[in-house]
Structure 1
Amino acid sequence: MTSSNGSPFLSVILPVLNEAETVTRQLMALRVFRERGAELVLVDGGSSDGTPALAAPEVDQLIVSARGRAMQMNAGALASQGQVLLFLHADTALPLAADDLIRRAITTGACWGRFDVRIDGRQPLLRVVERMMNWRSRLTGIATGDQAIFVRREVFETVGGYPELPLMEDIALSKRLKRLARPACLRQRVVTSARRWQKHGVLRTILLMWCLRARYFLGADPQQLAILYGYAPRQR
């Protein structure tokens, strides 16, 4: 899965922070894509639990950047070689044919897209959450990071990459990309962890996310929203 000039078709960019408990399992699952020619770029935001050492044998590039998912993904994009960039959260698993599905979407005219999502928890309310996420994304053309956003490199560069926000960076990128084209909404599902819903309770997390999203669209400061979400302010 390489181009005529030897560069990979797909670069998978994985931002991580203190993921020692899960990173090895995640990277083993991604090995099949490397075997088919995809590049895997892991961007560590300053882990203190040994994540980089665990990850190093299973990636093509390991980068350390300033903490912050948007900054980490931008750093990974800059270092990567692929024609198409796939941004994958550390707690999200791709379908086995993800690389082929992305290739088909891109070669038939898409300049960016995302997958439908399934949440791996058993609570019935999570089925409602995932259906609403997929339906809302298809209706609005806005994708979330949980849905594994992919984009042609030149398009990502044209829109200036991820806005370096502490929260809602995926929404902000989607808005930029949507000005150029609507996304390819692939119905095959990535599987994302339910850990953030389980940590604080499903209903409470749903209400919090609705509130944060509404405040963001009304112009609230993303830094303050990040603090409400539970992110510690980044040290400068």
Structure 2
Amino acid sequence: MISVVIPTFNAQHSLAETLTSLVPAAVEGVVCEVIVADGGSTDRTFDIADGAGAEIVKAPAGRGAQLRAGAERARFPWLLFLNSGTYLDAGWERDAAQHIERVKSGRRKAAAATFRFVLDDEGFGARMAERMAAFRMGLLKLPYGDQGLLLPRTLYDEVGGFGALPLLEDVDLARRLGRRRLAVLNARAVMDGERYRQDRTLTRTARAQACLGLYLAGVPVKAIAAVFGSPQKRVSETIAERRAS
């Protein structure tokens, strides 16, 4: 029923938890394949993905290009795009299956669905990040990539799929889907808090809002990336800092 596509880049510390959250859905037959679309990892990402039985696709670095490459390889009628470092709460497959059934039965027109964003961390910064995600979704219907995105393959193809963008690929696709074709499921997508702590939660939130504001104002994505850097670049910088310490 569902092909799951996970973009990775040096994700050895976060990928296993993401994959583990998919196991119950695979047992139930909801998840039929998992594709790890990698942008040039140099750590144990491949070993973890292979050990879990995932298919590995190598793609140019950049989540947009990786997600697009993973989708091209997918063989099933529904696609679930899920970032490494995000795990889905127990029982998420029931909400997903209900959404799929509503679309298949015609009770709802073809639509994408995302999950409620939760940050696995304590403190004011984490709660602020969650509130900003909820506000952004409620006002603009623009989910974070960290919230996951489930949609029929036909709808994905209809809107042109992910663009090969260095960042904001999630916003770009959501805008092409439009508000009426995006639903929020009750299940939660839980983001690994360590990544936010490393990046300073409030700083990360402020940067995300600045990038979004510039994008909505019409600034080209490449120009935004030149100012704020791509996610892969920030991961590389974090790894370099760890090795130096």
Question: What secondary structure sits across from 2:21 in the alignment?
Answer: helix
In the alignment, the residues of structure 1 paired with residue 177 and residue 200 of structure 2 have an alpha-carbon distance, to the nearest angstrom, of 33
Q: Note the C-alpha offset of 1:178.
A: 0.8
Q: Provide the rounded CA distance (Å) in 2 between the counterparts of 1:104 and 1:156.
A: 19
Match in the other structure for 2:171: 171
Cα 1:59–1:228 shift into 2, 3 Å: farther
The letter for the 1-side match of 2:148 is: A
State the distance in 1 between where 2:47 and 2:11 align.
Answer: 11
* 1:64 has 2:42 as partner: no
Provide the secondary structure at the position in 2 that maps to 1:131: helix
How many angstroms apart in 1 are the aligned matches of 2:39 and 2:57?
A: 9
TM-score by length of 2: 0.84
Query: Counterpart of 2:243?
Result: none
Normalising to structure 1: TM-score of the pair? 0.87
Per the TM alignment, residue 48 of structure 1 is displaced from its structure 2 partner at its CA by 0.9
Compared CA separation, residues 230 and 123, structure 1 to 2 (3 A): farther
Gaps of at least 5 residues in structure 1 are 1-8
Structure 1 residues 44 and 96: alpha-carbon distance in aligned structure 2, compared to 1, 3 A threshold: same
Q: Give the corresponding residue for 2:95.
A: 101
Whole-Å separation in 1 of the counterparts to 2:187 and 2:21: 17
Q: Which amino acid aligns with 1:222?
A: V
- d(CA) in 2 for partners of 1:62 and 1:107? 29
User: Matches of 1:52 and 1:227 in 2, distance apart?
Assistant: 29
Find the counterpart in structure 2 of residue 202 from structure 1.
Answer: 201
1:146-195 Cα offsets, whole Å, 9 max, x none, are: 1111111100011110122111110000011117x331111321101233
Shift of 1:27: 2.1
Distance 1:55 1:177 in 2: 30
Q: 1:73 to 1:193 in 2, by over 3 A?
A: same
Structure 2: give runs of 5+ residues left out of the alignment. 103-107, 235-245
Q: How does 1:1-236 map to 2 (within 5 A)?
A: 9-37=1-29, 38=31, 39-108=33-102, 109=108, 110-178=110-178, 181-231=180-230, 232=233
Alignment match, 1:6: none
Q: Over the residues paired in the alignment, what is the CA RMSD in angstroms?
A: 1.9
Q: After TM superposition, give the deviation of residue 47 of structure 1 in Å.
A: 0.7
Question: Does the 8 Å CA contact 1:71/1:162 hold for their aligned counterparts?
Answer: yes
Moved over 6 A (4+): none
Show the counterpart of 2:239.
none
CA distance in 1 between counterparts of 2:41 and 2:59 reads 10
Give the drift of 1:196. Answer: 4.1
Which residue identity is paired with 1:36?
E
Aligned residue pairs, count: 224
Which secondary structure state, in structure 2, belongs to the residue aligned with residue 62 of structure 1?
A: strand
User: Retained in 2: the 8 A contact 1:138–1:185?
Assistant: no
Between the aligned residues of both structures, percent identity stands at 29
